[in-house]
Structure 1
Amino acid sequence: MYVLLVICVAVVSYLLWIKYIYYLQNLAKSRKQLLKCMLCGNKQFNSPQTSDLSRKVRALFLTAHPDDECMFFAPAILGLLELNASVHLLCLSQGNYYNQGVQRREELLDSCAVLGIPDSQVTIHDSKELPDNPNIEWSISVASSVILKHTRAHSINLVLTFDGTGVSGHSNHTAIYKAVSYLGSTGNVPDDCSLLSLSTISVLRKYLSFLELPISWLLPSDLCFIVESKGHYQAKRAMLCHRTQLLWFRYLYIWFSRYMFVNTFRVIDQGPKNLKVY
């Protein structure tokens, strides 16, 4: 009886902790993190008002395949849109591994519409040099060129993408990180642009659903986005747009993946920019 009581108290306490974290998140913690992140990467940005910052943010999500946007980045997309940021998406392939590219392109546009990204701010890059294929190593030169061109064309000042492990380990995911890191390390990213990578976590944490939230909250990160039930429902609706991808295990992912609830990012280091010798 005593053991059962202790377990019940522990469970209730844990759930109350999660509730408290949601409360803190609603107090605009993400706004403060975003301000800090932008100031770190952007020496020209000096507005002290987070509300001013939100209106000036032009964020670009870099993905490899249609469905990446909702499987991995939905909390961040929804969070930035809630902060009144302008959100863009660049998908570097149309997902044609099983010759479904045309259909997957339409599914991506439908998913982005559910998340709140208009068609005019969604770009799907389709070239033989960057195929949807985990067995083909993408050219860092080609990928970085496409990313840089898009970043400059749309005056992007915040880039968010995968980290070096790519969450799922997919080689196309990690290639994007390598391309962005290359741009950052060589100083080719525009002066006012910050770079962020989505943190890969262990498989155990990955499938704890919202119960993983306190762990993400306690561990260090440069930017954290959390969605409540309404945001999670929106993310699920977006994922359901990808009808060609809805195998049985994807339904399990929708319900149990922590990435449908929480996104944590780390800043990608950048090299010196616009160095001049006199």
Structure 2
Amino acid sequence: MAAGPWCWGTPAALALPVLLLLLLGGARRLRRGRAGARGGARGGGRALVLTAHPDDEAMFFAPALLGLRSAGAAPAVLCCSAGNYYNQGEIRKKELEQSCCVLGIPASDVTVIDHRWSRSCCGVHLRRCSIQRTDTVTTSFAVFPNPVFLFFASNSLEATGDQRSEILQNTGTCRTAPGSRDLPDDPAVEWDTQLLATLVLEHIEAKNINLVVTFDAGGVSGHANHISLYNAVRYLHSEGKLPEGCRVLVLESVNLCRKYISFLDVFISCLLPGDALFILTEEETEQAKRAMRCHRSQLLWFRRLYLRFSRYLVLNSLRLL
């Protein structure tokens, strides 16, 4: 008598739960054993995690930040916008500082760039960059194409309403109109590669960075601002502008299925080739989630689901550029 579907289906139905239990057990053992970096930073180096918005450091890079800190790489965070899409920039800066504190990153190593530009009445393009370290007051400066035109101010130069700022230089007086955001928090806007590369390189050189960690060409979520960071760092790398010995690790974007299977992706990531892999223990994963919860203004319902299911709160797989 030929075997019916039930005869064949019963062993398969019994084997599937067993296989899932084996995968779960294997993933948990790997997490407890902690696969660290296969490559990347060595102890005594200085790492920079380059993000686009406040909350990126917790949503996407917490495993790398915690892993680099454990490896003695003294990671710093450079956030290239204040996340002001819904006019919450000031709130989000404070949340970023709180999140980094949970991740063990001191405020002195957290920097937010809020870049603006305007055109002066005398035809000179004036770029303004407000660079704020979270433990200090904001410092703004204006940079003209000619190095002669360099003006530093202890307070923001940005004018509001009908107000205008006057800049007195040895070449004359320029009145500047209020600038518009040149690096806006906007999923539809690609940031200027040359401008962003200049700002990032200045920070790399000032902090003596020898490892940069940022998004890959997919930006994890496809956000245009994330992809812009990759384009800027790729430009610096391909043009040989990075300091000697400075390497770049980019965070791997994965398909939707892998993105939301949490620690089950540990097993898959360990089998695939890569240059660095940071896997958090269960305690460290809770630490990463606490950091994300510091971003209270962003905790909408779908981000609460992200907290529960995202693999980026458990592991980071990265590749060298």
Q: TM-score, normalised by structure 2?
A: 0.74
Return the alpha-carbon distance in structure 1 between the equivalents of residues 281 and 252 of structure 2. 20
CA offsets 1:144-190 (integer angstroms, 9 cap, x no match): 00100000000000000000110000000000000000000000000
Range with greater deviation from structure 2 (169-178 or 2-11): 2-11
Unaligned runs of 5+ in 2: 1-9, 116-180
* 1:11 lines up with 2:20 in the alignment: yes
Partner of 2:284: 231
CA offsets 1:2-25 (integer angstroms, 9 cap, x no match): 444323321222123213423543
Partner of 2:134: none
Query: Residue 141 of structure 1 is aligned with which of 194, 203, 206?
Result: 194
Unaligned runs of 5+ in 1: 39-52, 269-278
Return the alpha-carbon distance in structure 1 between the equivalents of residues 226 and 27 of structure 2. 30
* 1:21 lines up with 2:30 in the alignment: yes
Pairwise CA RMSD: 1.3
* 1:119 lines up with 2:172 in the alignment: no
CA drift at 1:202: 0.2
* 1:240 lines up with 2:293 in the alignment: yes
Partner of 1:185: 238
Rg (Cα) greater in structure: 2
CA offsets 1:39-62 (integer angstroms, 9 cap, x no match): xxxxxxxxxxxxxx31x1200000
Percent identity at matched positions? 48
Contact 1:129 1:142 in 2 (8 A): no
What are the residue-to-residue correspondences of 1:207-226 with 2, within 5 Å? 207-226=260-279
What are the residue-to-residue correspondences of 1:26-105 with 2, within 5 Å? 29-31=35-37, 33-34=38-39, 37=40, 53-54=42-43, 56-105=44-93
SS in 1 for 2:254: coil
* 1:261 lines up with 2:309 in the alignment: no
Change (3 A) 1:12 1:137: closer
SS in 1 for 2:245: coil
Relative to its length, the structure with more helix (as a share) is: 1
Return the alpha-carbon distance in structure 1 between the equivalents of residues 105 and 83 of structure 2. 19
Query: Residue 248 of structure 2 is aligned with which of 176, 195, 200?
Result: 195
Contact 2:31 2:282 in 1 (8 A): no
Partner of 1:250: 303
Relative to its length, the structure with more strand (as a share) is: 2
What is the letter of the counterpart of residue 51 of structure 2? Answer: T
CA offsets 1:188-213 (integer angstroms, 9 cap, x no match): 00002110100000011100111111
Return the alpha-carbon distance in structure 2 between the equivalents of residues 259 and 174 of structure 1. 17
Contact 2:50 2:212 in 1 (8 A): yes
Q: TM-score, normalised by structure 1?
A: 0.86
